[in-house]
């Protein structure tokens, strides 16, 4: 047996060992795809274990996150810093080897995966990021940014719509340094994948402008590594390598779906290890260590070459090097200074103000980029003069994702991580629910993807209930570790940007289509997330957000005129308000005897502030196709209607 | 000019007229695809205007819902029951011509559309439904169920992941009576579709086992109608007809993205009408009326033929006819009788109990069917002995959707409508957020799709935070007109089924992976959605759901033992509780001085019941990869931990 086969057997048994030890995991995939992972780590994947050099290193995304046992085992074998103990703690509390790979938990993990399909879109985002920086800073003989993005995926990932969206986009964008390693075992949890899927995968990828390589025996090391080598030479197309493999290779249930979720019994494991001649999978023989050492040398050599090249680059291209430094520098930016007072004074709509801010921010934050799911004229989420990103213009800052909201979110997550900088994406707020999974992933990973949604209420009007928000704001606010902004005017929007830039975590911006009057307080107040805007103490206290704050002020005017003193509070960011000291919160919430919440949404969070005896003015049912102002009446979101409701309560 | 061209011009001008009159709409698509819609209505679409015969009529899904002006105009021209006044009320409050087609609002509209891509998946569901009934009741010479399902879609629909998932599934399932009319104008809102999409559409469809017909001039009536005629002959593949069209045909902005959202000005409209020689688009000339009349005759003749055929079918196949009647009959079923007491007594997990119920329900409800997104062994949402649906077995009741949660939901919506009966679909609760859009659509349409989610909390354990629910329950409860069930045991689950069967609206079932002890009260109480389970009055009142109800009882035991009288209420369905009389609600919620909510979720709705001074015991942050019982401790969801928290509050 040659040494590669020995290493592969070791890796296979190691995966089986830690899965069985953890009493759970997904042995099937781990065992079937061993040769792919081995060849990738040994011969191709370029990683700088010591410094994680962000310019030089390749990116690897384990989209099939349930193959984590194999991933961790390979990382152990190839000296990525995992110990035997880490492997023994696989899937245990606070280990660095959780059930699915987690970004920020394990240092070589480039992105958290688990929900299928996401990883493919993340990888597309990372590959886009590489082209963006390469186009700016690579010059002849100096390929500073030249990394590959590898993505390991299975049948499940490929069936997901988010992956299909991302794959189509990647073909259009000609991301030739993206390599998708497709573990095609044709088995899913329910049985043969062909039950639900009969595609000609190769033809489908070709129709989407991909380079396609098929390896009929995914267990043959030589074929596998050669295929990856060929993929790396693709000139203007991303490559998929379709590796035909056998799930649960070597076990009694090889090729069967039953191996998907069930770990091997101790007896089966022992039999398995015996079959492959491995006594202790953790114990690497000198022969295997030598292989791993050679790989380390390959990596070190490549890094040394890169360092040498970069050293010359610095001195021979001082201007470009300066630009590069400026490009990657994380400057602190005061968002409240981005617009001039006379611009703020213009009573702009949320989307119009946002467009101006994006342009200014872009000039101070060169890595800022993002895109739209085909609604630029409506959402206006676009960096003016930033150019359109495309295969022909890698320097463009605006990406046209097509009508692919889900992939847009996940691609942006990959891009945010690659650029280590906020990226934005956009559609109508109503369609945020096409992309809850990537929003959740951004919050879980704590990365600053900015989700910018315009048309944030029923006021969009005639397009009807499918386009009108009711449940969306509340749904987004339920995602942990996510700032949801609903600013009432341009100043609040700037204040929200400041929160976003400081917090460096994912944020949602709910922006109006319609114009907003300037009414808000100073930036210190705004950044508390909720504050007293008008009034001091009174009978009534109205808590409002976004376009409803102006409505609340109108109601206050009427009530004040009738000697019912009213306080109005604006809540641009409930998450931020909740993070304030209890005393501050209590103070803000104790200014009126009757607490009223006013928001064109059905979010239940308001009960937290107004209590059982408060009055929740909200939209509890779906919208209607009609003019926005007609709907104001229909929903009772007009000053007189609200005044009457409040007075009725005060009477009782 | 021949008469067809005259009709097409009339239809074109009518669409333009009503869009301009409404001051909004999407003229681009409406004007570009006129010939397709005309040919479909005139020569192919078989509709029984009078009785909407569900067995005979074709189904038409306007997936590109923004082409509604064209759809309504065609329906007006071809006597589907729309009046001039209806057209003039296009996009106005409470009209039967809302901005996007709405199911239940306009009688010929088969499904609500608007969010792109959904309609394609809905159509796949309807086409599946047709094969299910056809396989059961069609016999030689008697094709009782023989309708086509037409789906009109644009570039936007095709880019969406949900559509790609459904298209792949349709090819695998060989749905040859499904015809996708693809209005390929290569223009989206942001500009040329090729900016974001460069696919070879025909090749991609062929790779997914579709029959592909291309019509290079989608404005040529003869080519268009012939293509549809050819599509109808497809033997074992669904057909896509790629119609190359020009957006905004005939306007000054023809072929440009600017025509997408902006209606014509009055001047442009007048120019347009002049160009096509139409003075008053509402006024149909005798020549046009004759064409429409002939179409009506075609429809009537086809219906007469069907009626005659069906009359013979009844008499010559009395046994099958009896079965058909039993099949389509809506019997009232008492779900609480579905399982025997000794089965209920077994302390089953939510998913295991559900599997038994599904089997029993299936025997009483022959149309019941549904499927899984590749998690049958885990969710156990499967009709045992119901068979697997496939191209080879159309009678199978269990559909393998593949790992395509989003399409699964939307396909089920189409199937629910076609069969006029609940259908179910399933995955882990964590992945419900891949399919929020179809859940929302089912709620908006008020159709009884049943979304069954297992693994309903962090207790799933080692798979980690991506697989553990935190936000999902609350997100689902925010969708209007949706029952969300989280039963605490088998009896509550049966009670929830009873609610579902009575309400005939969409429902979510959150089911445990782990076993549950039988603890619940009688069915009358359960069906109130929230009720007092144990105790009478006390210091503490705990409101809990699902697996946390048993935990609450353990807490009560400890507290009672320390002379702190505790009441436990179970809330299997908050929507149902909210629908009870105020007195009942107040009574249930006033049994303890300190109100405590206990649910392994972060839903804010509990503040509504416990108020500001209540104690919300919940999971506010993401989960962790670790064993479920380790996580009980980690999250403090153990009796002693909860007792201590409660006592601490009582002290203050």
Tell me the pLDDT tens digit for each residue of A124-168: 999 999 999 999 999 999 999 999 999 999 999 999 999 999 999
A405 is catalytic: yes
The Cα–Cα gap between A506 and A36 comes to 34
CA distances from A343 to A181, A346, A349, A377, B545 (A): 50, 5, 12, 21, 51
pLDDT for B187: 79
Is residue A257 pLDDT above 90, yes or no?
no
Q: Which of A186, A189, A196 is nearest to A216 (CA)?
A: A186
Tokens of B513: 């992976």
CB-based contact B142:B123 (threshold 8 Å)? no
The Cα–Cα gap between B76 and B97 comes to 11
Average confidence score pLDDT of chain A: 95
The Cα–Cα gap between A538 and A341 comes to 32
Domain boundaries, chain B: 3-302, 335-510, 529-651
pLDDT for A225: 98
The Cα–Cα gap between A55 and A147 comes to 8
CB-based contact A454:A380 (threshold 8 Å)? yes
Task: Give strand pairing partners of A449.
Answer: A423
CB-based contact B35:B221 (threshold 8 Å)? yes
pLDDT for B408: 98
The Cα–Cα gap between A639 and A167 comes to 50
The Cα–Cα gap between A541 and A614 comes to 10
Helix (H, G, I), strand (E, B) or coil at B200: coil
The Cα–Cα gap between A214 and A227 comes to 8
Interface of B with A in 424-443 (CB under 8 A): 430-431, 433-434, 436-437, 440-441, 443
Is residue B26 pLDDT above 80, yes or no?
no
**All residues at 6 or more sequence positions from A266 whose CB lies less than 8 Å from its CB, including other chains:** A20
Q: What is the mean predicted confidence (pLDDT) over A26-30?
A: 73
Of the CATH numbers 3.40.50.970, 3.40.220.10, 3.40.80.10, 3.40.50.620, which one belongs to the domain with range B3-302? 3.40.50.970
Q: Which of A403, A474, A416, A405 is nearest to A443 (CA)?
A: A416
The Cα–Cα gap between B637 and B648 comes to 16
The Cα–Cα gap between A422 and A357 comes to 14
Annotated catalytic residue, options A102, A110, A405, A550: A405
pLDDT for B64: 95
Task: Quickly name the fold that domain A3-301 has.
Answer: Rossmann fold (3.40.50)
Query: A621 to chain B: nearest residue by CA?
Result: B480
pLDDT in tens, B102-139: 999 999 999 999 999 999 999 999 999 999 999 999 99
Local confidence band at A473 (pLDDT 50, 70, 90 cut-offs): very high
Is residue A329 pLDDT above 90, yes or no?
yes
Helix (H, G, I), strand (E, B) or coil at B164: helix
Two domains, one topology: A3-301 and A530-651: yes
**All residues at 6 or more sequence positions from A121 whose CB lies less than 8 Å from its CB, including other chains:** A162, A163, A165, A166, A406, A407, A409, A410, A411, A413, A414, A438
pLDDT in tens, A104-130: 999 999 999 999 999 999 999 999 999
CA distances from B181 to A42, B36, B139 (A): 49, 8, 29
Q: Which of A103, A190, A208, A116 is nearest to A153 (CA)?
A: A116
What backbone torsions phi and psi does residue A78 show, to the nearest 5 degrees?
-100, 25
pLDDT for A652: 83
Tokens of B130: 């047709």
Buried b (16+ CB within 10 A) or exposed e, B387-404: ebbbeeebebbbbbbbbb
Q: What is the mean predicted confidence (pLDDT) over A324-332?
A: 94
Task: Give strand pairing partners of B212.
Answer: B240
Task: Give strand pairing partners of A425.
Answer: A371, A451
The Cα–Cα gap between B363 and B422 comes to 14
Spelled out in words, what is the top-level CATH class assigned to the domain A530-651?
alpha beta
Buried b (16+ CB within 10 A) or exposed e, A467-494: bbbbbbbbbbbbbbbbbbbbbbbbbbbb
Angle ∠(A219,A224,A226) on CA atoms, nearest 5: 150
What backbone torsions phi and psi does residue B181 show, to the nearest 5 degrees?
-95, 105
pLDDT for B394: 98
- Residue labelled with tokens 């002290």: B651
pLDDT for A242: 97
pLDDT in tens, B470-485: 999 999 999 999 999 9
CA distances from B49 to A513, B15, B54, B100 (A): 40, 21, 11, 21
Interface of A with B in 233-262 (CB under 8 A): 261
Interface with chain A: mutation pick from B29, B625, B627, highest number of A CBs within 10 Å: B625
What's the burial of A323, exposed, middle or buried (CB within 10 Å: 0-12/13-18/19+)? middle
DSSP type of residue A174? T
Interface of A with B in 143-202 (CB under 8 A): 155-157, 159-165, 168-169, 171-172, 188-191, 193-202
The Cα–Cα gap between B255 and B257 comes to 7
The 3 state secondary structure assigned to A473-488 is HHHHHCCCCCEEECCC
Local confidence band at A188 (pLDDT 50, 70, 90 cut-offs): confident
Annotated catalytic residue, options B405, B550, B575, B599: B405
Q: Nearest Cβ partner of B607 from A164, A434, A607?
A: A607
pLDDT for B298: 96
pLDDT in tens, B615-631: 999 999 999 999 999 99
Task: Quickly name the fold that domain B529-651 has.
Answer: Rossmann fold (3.40.50)
pLDDT for A185: 86
What backbone torsions phi and psi does residue A542 show, to the nearest 5 degrees?
-105, 125
Local confidence band at A624 (pLDDT 50, 70, 90 cut-offs): very high
Lowest mean pLDDT among A178-187, B348-357, B587-596: A178-187
Q: What percent of chain B has pLDDT over 90?
A: 92
CB-based contact A150:A181 (threshold 8 Å)? yes
CB-based contact A473:A603 (threshold 8 Å)? yes
| pTM for this prediction | 0.98
Rg (CA), chain B: 28
pLDDT for A150: 98
Spelled out in words, what is the top-level CATH class assigned to the domain B335-510?
alpha beta
Q: What percent of chain B has pLDDT over 70?
A: 100
**All residues at 6 or more sequence positions from B138 whose CB lies less than 8 Å from its CB, including other chains:** B144, B145, B146
pLDDT in tens, A378-400: 999 999 999 999 999 999 999 99
CB-based contact A349:A487 (threshold 8 Å)? no
Average confidence score pLDDT of chain B: 95
Q: What percent of chain A has pLDDT over 90?
A: 91
Is residue A29 pLDDT above 80, yes or no?
no
Asked if A402 and B197 come within 8 Å (Cβ–Cβ), the reply is: yes
Local confidence band at B197 (pLDDT 50, 70, 90 cut-offs): confident
DSSP type of residue B211? E
Rg (CA), chain A: 28
CB-based contact B197:A402 (threshold 8 Å)? yes
The Cα–Cα gap between B276 and A487 comes to 48
pLDDT for A253: 82
pLDDT in tens, B447-464: 999 999 999 999 999 999
CA terminus-to-terminus distance, chain B = 88
Q: Nearest Cβ partner of B376 from A65, A190, A406?
A: A190
* B202 Cα to chain A: minimum distance (Å): 8
pLDDT for B248: 84
Interface of A with B in 623-642 (CB under 8 A): 624-627, 630-631, 634
Parallel, antiparallel, or unpaired: how do β-strands B187-188 and B191-192 relate? antiparallel
Is residue B260 pLDDT above 90, yes or no?
no
């Amino acid at each position: 047996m040659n040494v590669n086969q020995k290493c592969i057997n070791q890796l296979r048994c190691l995966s089986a060992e830690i899965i069985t030890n953890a009493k759970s995991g997904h042995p099937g995939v781990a065992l079937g795809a061993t040769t792919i992972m081995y060849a990738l780590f040994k011969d191709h994947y370029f990683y700088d274990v010591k410094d994680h050099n962000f310019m030089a290193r390749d990116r690897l995304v384990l989209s099939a996150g349930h193959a984590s046992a194999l991933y961790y085992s390979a990382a152990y074998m190839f000296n990525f810093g995992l110990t035997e103990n880490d492997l023994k703690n696989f899937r245990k509390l606070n280990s660095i080897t959780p059930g699915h790979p987690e970004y920020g938990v394990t240092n070589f993990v480039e992105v958290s995966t688990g929900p299928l399909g996401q990883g493919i879109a993340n990888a597309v985002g990372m590959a886009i990021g590489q082209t963006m920086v390469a186009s700016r800073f690579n010059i002849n003989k100096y390929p500073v940014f030249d990394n590959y993005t590898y993505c390991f995926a299975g049948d499940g990932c490929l069936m997901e719509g988010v992956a299909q969206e991302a794959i189509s986009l990647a073909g259009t964008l000609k991301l030739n340094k993206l390599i998708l390693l497709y573990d095609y075992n044709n088995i899913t949890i329910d049985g043969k994948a062909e039950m639900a899927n009969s595609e000609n995968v190769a033809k489908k990828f070709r129709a989407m402008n991909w380079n396609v390589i098929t390896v009929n025996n995914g267990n043959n090391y030589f074929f596998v590594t050669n295929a990856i080598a060929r993929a790396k030479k693709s000139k203007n197309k991303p490559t998929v390598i379709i590796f035909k493999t056998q799930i649960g290779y070597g076990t009694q249930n090889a090729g069967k779906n039953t191996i998907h979720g069930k770990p091997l019994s101790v007896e089966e494991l022992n039999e398995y290890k015996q079959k492959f001649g491995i006594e202790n999978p953790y114990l690497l023989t000198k022969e295997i260590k030598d292989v791993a050492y050679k790989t380390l040398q390959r990596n070190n050599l490549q890094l040394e070459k890169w360092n040498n090249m970069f050293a010359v680059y610095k001195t021979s291209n001082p201007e470009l090097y300066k630009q590069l430094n400026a490009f990657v520098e994380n400057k602190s930016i005061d968002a409240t200074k981005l617009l001039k007072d006379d611009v703020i004074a213009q009573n702009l709509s949320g989307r119009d103000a946002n467009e101006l801010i994006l342009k200014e921010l872009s000039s101070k934050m060169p890595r800022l980029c993002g895109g739209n799911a085909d609604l630029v004229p409506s959402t206006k989420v676009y960096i003016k003069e930033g150019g359109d990103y495309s295969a022909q213009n890698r320097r463009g800052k605006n990406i046209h994702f097509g009508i692919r909201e889900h992939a847009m979110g996940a691609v942006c997550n990959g891009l945010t991580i690659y650029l280590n900088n906020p990226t934005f994406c956009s559609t109508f707020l109503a369609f945020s629910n096409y992309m809850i999974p990537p929003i959740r992933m951004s919050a879980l990973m704590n990365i600053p993807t900015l989700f910018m949604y315009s048309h944030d209420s029923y006021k969009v009007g005639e397009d009807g209930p499918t386009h009108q928000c009711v449940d969306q704001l509340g749904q987004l606010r339920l995602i942990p570790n996510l700032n949801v902004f609903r600013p009432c005017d341009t100043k609040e929007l700037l204040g929200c940007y400041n929160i976003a830039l400081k917090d460096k975590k994912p944020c949602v911006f709910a922006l109006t289509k319609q114009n907003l009057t300037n009414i808000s307080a100073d930036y210190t107040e705004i950044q508390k997330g909720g504050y007293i805007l008008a009034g001091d103490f009174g009978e009534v206290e109205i808590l409002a957000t976004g376009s409803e704050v102006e409505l609340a002020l109108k109601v206050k005017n009427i009530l004040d005129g009738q000697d019912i003193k009213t306080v109005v509070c604006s809540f641009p960011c409930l998450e931020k308000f909740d993070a304030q000291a209890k005393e501050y919160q209590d103070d803000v919430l104790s200014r009126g005897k009757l607490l009223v919440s006013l928001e064109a949404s059905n979010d239940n969070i308001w009960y937290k502030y107004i209590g059982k005896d408060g009055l929740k003015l909200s939209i509890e049912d779906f919208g209607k196709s009609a003019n926005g102002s007609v709907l104001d009446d229909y929903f009772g979101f007009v000053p007189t209607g609200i005044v009457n409701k409040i007075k009725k309560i005060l009477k009782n």
